[in-house]
């Protein structure tokens, strides 16, 4: 009788713990965030919120007067410190890194409903002006952040020394191309891969974007989606829809590539922004661009080929 009662209590207790855990951030994600925070604060001591005319920009930074500044602009899926985790240690040895969260990501916020890439670049520039670190900087962006970096150069090229674009939908990307890619991975649209809502879309994202997908259980996939994608789903869809609706604008820009030294870096098997986009950019601006391809990488060269990519960045910026 006692054993049955104890079993009942244990089952009830575990049920309560399970329900409580589901309402909280899963421990694995808390641990990951603590690790990322500890890592960036080890190499970048500055951490601030900057009020611009229409936003609050969160920025990690260093301020060594002997080093040039390098602005790192993150992609659609995560915040700045997570996106550039594998770059921070290596690049901070040579550069004052500026690692912001873009608006609607991380701790950067706004009361506006402006989903243009120009808005991102303008508010970021305002933040750097307020810190007096906007002149003679290098700018590097990945994916959506690569497009933001290109727009930054379009608007403020006189303040940019060199530009680095990694796997980004710049100029030659189109909705027709994205629809074709989505179809190849058996999902309805590119937004399904970039902001998955179920296991099928999550699987498609991993196949398209990650060179070596990590093994996951169905339960983990659900938790991953619930933690990283569900809370921001509607907002990300608005951002992606804006890009589609204004694709002709972003295709017509030249981004001052004709008079800026640019390093283009691509994963050869990228299923989000295909290699052809990088090739077309290099062909169009052959006099001013260098092109580096990572043969096995997908939409993750900054992660899967981080050491080689970091070396290429340092080489390019030193030349």
Q: Considering just the CA atoms, what is the radius of gyration of the chain in Å?
A: 21
pLDDT 10s digits, 235-286? 999 999 999 999 999 999 999 999 999 999 999 999 999 999 999 999 999 9
pLDDT 10s digits, 123-148? 999 999 999 999 999 999 999 999 99
Number of H helices and E strands in the chain, helices first, is 15, 8
Residues 6+ positions from 89 with CB-CB distance below 8 Å: 39, 43
CB 212 within 8 A of CB 297: no
pLDDT value at residue 25: 67
pLDDT value at residue 20: 39
Cβ burial, residue 232 (10 Å; 0-12/13-18/19+): middle
Which residues in the chain land under pLDDT 50?
1-2, 5-6, 8-23
Q: Copy the structure tokens of residue 261.
A: 């030294």
CA atoms within 13 A on the CB side of 79: 18
C-alpha span between 116 and 319 (Å, rounded): 33
Q: So what CATH class is 25-318?
A: alpha beta
């Amino acid at each position: 009788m006692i054993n049955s009662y104890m079993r009942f209590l244990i089952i009830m207790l575990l049920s309560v713990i399970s329900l409580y855990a589901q309402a909280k951030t899963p421990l694995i994600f808390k641990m990951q965030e603590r690790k990322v925070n500890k890592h960036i604060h080890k190499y970048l001591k500055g951490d601030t919120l900057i009020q611009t005319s229409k936003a609050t920009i969160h920025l990690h930074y260093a301020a060594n007067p002997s080093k040039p500044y390098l602005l790192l602009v993150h992609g659609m899926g995560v915040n700045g410190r997570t996106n550039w985790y594998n770059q921070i240690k290596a690049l901070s040895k040579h550069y004052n890194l500026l690692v912001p969260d873009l608006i609607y990501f991380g701790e950067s916020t706004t009361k506006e409903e402006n989903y243009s890439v120009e808005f991102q670049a303008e508010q970021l520039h305002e933040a750097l002006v307020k810190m007096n670190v906007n002149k003679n900087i290098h700018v590097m962006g990945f994916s959506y952040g690569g497009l933001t970096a290109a727009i930054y150069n379009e608007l403020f090229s006189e303040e940019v020394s060199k530009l680095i674009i990694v796997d980004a939908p710049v100029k030659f990307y189109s909705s027709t191309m994205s629809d074709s890619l989505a179809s190849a991975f058996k999902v309805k649209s590119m937004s399904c891969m970039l902001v998955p809502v179920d296991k099928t879309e999550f699987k498609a994202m991993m196949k398209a974007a990650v060179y070596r997908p990590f093994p996951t259980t169905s339960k983990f996939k659900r938790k991953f989606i619930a933690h990283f994608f569900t809370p921001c789903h509607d907002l990300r869809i608005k951002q992606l829809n804006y890009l589609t609706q204004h694709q002709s604008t972003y295709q017509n820009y030249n981004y001052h590539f004709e008079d800026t030294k640019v390093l283009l870096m691509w994963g050869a098997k990228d299923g989000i922004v295909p290699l052809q986009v990088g090739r077309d950019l290099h062909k169009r601006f052959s006099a001013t661009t260098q092109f580096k391809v990572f043969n096995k990488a997908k939409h993750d060269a900054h992660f899967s080929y981080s050491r080689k990519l970091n070396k290429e960045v340092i080489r390019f910026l030193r030349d």
